[in-house]
Amino acid sequence: MSKPTLFVLAAGMGSRYGGLKQLDGLGPNGETIMDYSIFDAARAGFGKVVFVIRKSFEEDFRTKIVSKYQGFIPVEIVFQDLDSLPAGFSCPPDRQKPWGTNHAVLMGKDVIKEAFAVINADDFYGRESYVVLARALNEMQGKNNQYCMVGYRIGNTLSESGSVARGICQTDQNDCLTTVVERTWIIRDQDGLVKFKDENEQLVTVEENAPVSMNMWGFTPDYFDHSEANFIEFLNENINNPKAEFYIPWVVNNLINQGKAACKVLDTPAKWFGVTYAEDRPTVVSKIKDLVEAGEYPSKLW
């Protein structure tokens, strides 16, 4: 049986963070968050890593990131570009924003033929989440239309430095996802309540332990075919909207609502952390240092 693949979304330029945060050294020996993700995935049983990046920083990425993994785990790179569109579509000249996370996922179709996980490059997910996800992916091998997602408790995923974007989830009695809605502005207010802005810019309070997507998904290769069909639908409706993005939750929602797929939500008590803002950096450095001192990771990964 093939080992699952880890697909890392690393094409974002980190506009809110103020730099190319995927290459920022945060560990005691300059390790990036991606380094810890690869380390955790490898010891959980993943067999390959695929990065999706922008062509413009390929040289930096190969030199500073990929070179470290030689001899540790096989690595491939694919590219997300604005012009990577289905036949019959062309990118509007005023489009600057990337097409979104599920467009990035589509870039892996030609190199991923086994069950795979999708993660963000700049999120620290925690060792236990990779173990849970690898187990689920191994059970999914050879199946179609049965996906999974690691669900974090929303109160464990916020930044002290500003708003965050999360996919807020609802589940059924079998812990299968019934809906996920991407909320792009979520904070903890001065009273300690978690709130998001809805479509009308109104603040809505959400329960502390509500499950959210941190973009840690598990799919089988048939997901690429669904994504291609959904992307055409998305472009027909949104190609002239310069801010519209083709999100993973948009596709998963569609498949669930149409009865074409099911998505198991895998619970985790893990606390997310990441560098959404530059002000987050000292906190992340401190948390990684604490994990190393507690023996969760070696002082030097490579």
- Tell me the pLDDT tens digit for each residue of 37-78: 999 999 999 999 999 998 888 888 888 888 999 899 999 999
Residue 249 — pLDDT band, cuts 50, 70, 90? confident
177 is a domain residue: no
- What's the average model confidence in pLDDT over 229-256? 94
Answer whether 150's CB lies under 8 Å from 125's CB.
yes
- Structure tokens belonging to residue 242: 């310069």
* pLDDT band, very low/low/confident/very high, at 276 (cuts 50, 70, 90): confident
pLDDT of residue 16: 46
Q: Identify whether 108 is part of a domain.
A: yes
pLDDT exceeds 70 at position 19: no
Residue 282 falls inside a structural domain: yes
Calpha distance 167→212 (Å, rounded): 5
Q: Is the pLDDT of residue 22 over 80?
A: no
Per the CB < 8 A criterion, the answer to whether 164 and 157 are in contact is yes
Alpha-carbon distance of 292 to 296, in angstroms, equals: 6
Domain assignment present for 52? yes
Residue 29 belongs to a domain: yes
Q: Is residue 134 part of a domain?
A: yes
Summarize pLDDT for 125-184 with one digit per residue, the tens: 999 999 999 999 999 999 999 999 999 999 999 988 889 888 899 999 999 999 888 888
Higher-scoring residue by pLDDT: 109, 11? 109
The verdict on residue 168 lying in a domain is: no
* Any domain includes 160: no
Per the structure, the complete domain to which residue 33 belongs is given by 5-149+214-246+263-293
Residue 14 has pLDDT above 60, yes or no: no
pTM of the entire predicted model: 0.89
Tally the domains of the chain.
1
Contact 254, 108 (CB under 8 A): no
The CATH number that applies at residue 58 is: 3.90.550.10
* Whether residue 21 has pLDDT greater than 90: no
